[in-house]
Amino acid sequence: MYGACVPTLGDAAARDADRDVPDKFDVPEATISAATLTAREFFTDVQLIALVDEALANNQELNILAQEVTAANSEILARQGEYQPRVGIGAGAGDDKVGKFTSQGASDEAHGLPEHLQGYGAGFNASWEIDVWGKLHDATKAAVYRFFSTVEGRRLATTRLVAELAASYYELMALDNRLEVLRANIEIQNQALEVVRVQKTAAQVTELAVQRFEAEVLRNRARVFDVQQQIVETENRINVLVGRFPQPVQRASSTFLELEPLALDAGVPTQLLENRPDLRQAELALEAAKLDVTVAQKSFYPQLSLEARAGVDAFDLHSLSIWPESLAYGAIANLAAPLWNRKALIAGFYAANAMQMQAVFGYERTLRTAYAEVANMVAMVRNFGGKYQLKAQQVAILRSAIDVSNKLFANARADYMEVLLTRRDALESQLELIETRTTQLRAMVDLYRALGGGWRDADRYVDPDGTGHSVGPVRDVVR
Residues 56-71: tens digit of each pLDDT: 989 999 888 888 888 8
DSSP state letters, 97-124: ---TTSHHHHHHHHTT--SSEEEEEEEE
Q: What is the distance between the alpha carbons of residues 455 and 452, in angstroms, rounded to a whole number?
A: 8
Note whether 36 and 381 are within 8 A (CB).
no
Note whether 299 and 277 are within 8 A (CB).
no
Highest-scoring range by mean pLDDT, 51-55, 104-108, 372-376: 51-55
- Binning pLDDT at 50, 70 and 90, where does residue 27 land? low
Mean of all residue pLDDT scores within the chain: 84
DSSP 3-state assignment of 199? helix
Distance, C-alpha 402 to centroid of its chain: 50
Note whether 322 and 381 are within 8 A (CB).
no
Q: What is the distance between the alpha carbons of residues 180 and 325, in angstroms, rounded to a whole number?
A: 98
Task: Tell me what the mean pLDDT of segment 428-437 comes to.
Answer: 94
Sheet of 327-336, strands arranged across: 86-96, 117-130, 303-314, 327-336
DSSP 3-state assignment of 323? coil
Q: What is the distance between the alpha carbons of residues 145 and 141, in angstroms, rounded to a whole number?
A: 6
Residue 63 parent element (H or E): helix 60-82
| Domain 3-83+133-300+343-458 in this protein, CATH class | mainly alpha
Q: Is the pLDDT of residue 4 over 70?
A: no
pLDDT of residue 468: 39
Task: Tell me what the mean pLDDT of segment 379-401 comes to.
Answer: 90
Residues 6+ apart with CB under 8 A from 100: 106, 109, 115
Boundaries of every domain in the chain: 3-83+133-300+343-458, 86-130+303-336
Q: What is the largest CA-CA distance in the chain?
A: 140
Q: What is the distance between the alpha carbons of residues 469 and 463, in angstroms, rounded to a whole number?
A: 6
- Binning pLDDT at 50, 70 and 90, where does residue 244 land? very high
> Strand pairing partners for 306?
128, 333
Q: Is the pLDDT of residue 473 over 70?
A: no
pLDDT of residue 340: 77
Q: What is the distance between the alpha carbons of residues 257 and 342, in angstroms, rounded to a whole number?
A: 70
- Binning pLDDT at 50, 70 and 90, where does residue 471 land? very low
Q: What is the pTM of this model?
A: 0.80
Q: Is the pLDDT of residue 205 over 60?
A: yes
Task: Tell me what the mean pLDDT of segment 271-300 comes to.
Answer: 89
Own/partner contacts of 164-167, CB < 8 Å, gap of 24 or more, are 164/241, 165/48, 165/51, 165/52, 165/55, 165/238, 165/241, 165/242, 166/39, 166/43, 166/48, 166/52, 166/445, 167/441, 167/442, 167/445, 167/446
What is the CATH code for 86-130+303-336? 2.20.200.10
Residues 6+ apart with CB under 8 A from 239: 245, 246, 247, 249
DSSP 3-state assignment of 390? helix
